[in-house]
């Protein structure tokens, strides 16, 4: 067996754990109700299918391994991947304290500043996040976190 450095095997294992967790959680929902299919029908079938696909992929990955060095980028491309991951993590961690607009601004600015001048990147990032915030909170009535620093806007 070629399991050492077999990226596809380990990814299929992660997918199997993910699908199994959702399948286990779907048993908490009603499969059928008096009106017809209940809220548990779709997640049960979807996670069950995903579990079967991940098992099939795990078995097929043993014969045809994919190694980490074959798939991951190197150099500048790897820095781009790490920048995206870091900006998403910063967004998640500062969202509740700074609010959607400022957290989104930080995330977009860190992504756009590598390709645009800082003034253009900041204008684009701020205008897009304000537009998204007012679209969701104003028109669609979806509550987004305001944060302590953005609460004066209303």
**Domain coordinates of the chain in residue numbers?**
7-71, 76-148
pLDDT in 10s for each residue of the chain, 154 residues: 566 778 888 899 999 999 999 999 999 988 888 888 888 889 999 999 999 999 999 998 888 888 877 888 888 888 988 999 999 999 999 988 888 889 999 999 999 998 899 999 999 999 999 999 989 988 898 888 887 765 565 5
* Cβ 42 vs Cβ 51: under 8 Å: no
- Residue 40 DSSP one-character state: T
Give the integer Cα–Cα distance in Å for 81 and 16: 25
User: Whole-prediction pTM value?
Assistant: 0.61
- Tell me how crowded residue 136 is: count the other CB atoms within 10 A of its CB: 14
């Amino acid at each position: 067996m070629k399991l050492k450095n077999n990226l596809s095997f380990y990814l299929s294992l992660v997918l199997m754990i993910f699908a199994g967790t959702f399948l286990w959680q779907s048993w908490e929902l009603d499969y059928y109700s008096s009106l017809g299919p209940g809220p548990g029908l779709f997640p049960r079938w979807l996670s069950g299918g995903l579990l079967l696909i991940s098992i099939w992929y795990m078995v097929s990955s043993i014969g045809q391994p994919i190694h980490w060095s074959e798939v991951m980028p190197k150099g500048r491309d790897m820095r781009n991947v790490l920048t995206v991951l870091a900006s998403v993590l910063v967004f998640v961690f500062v969202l509740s304290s700074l609010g959607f607009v400022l957290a989104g601004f930080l995330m977009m600015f860190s992504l756009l500043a590598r390709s645009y001048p800082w003034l253009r990147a900041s204008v684009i990032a701020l205008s897009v996040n304000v537009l998204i915030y007012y679209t969701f909170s104003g028109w669609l009535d979806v509550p987004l976190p305001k944060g302590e620093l953005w609460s004066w806007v209303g």
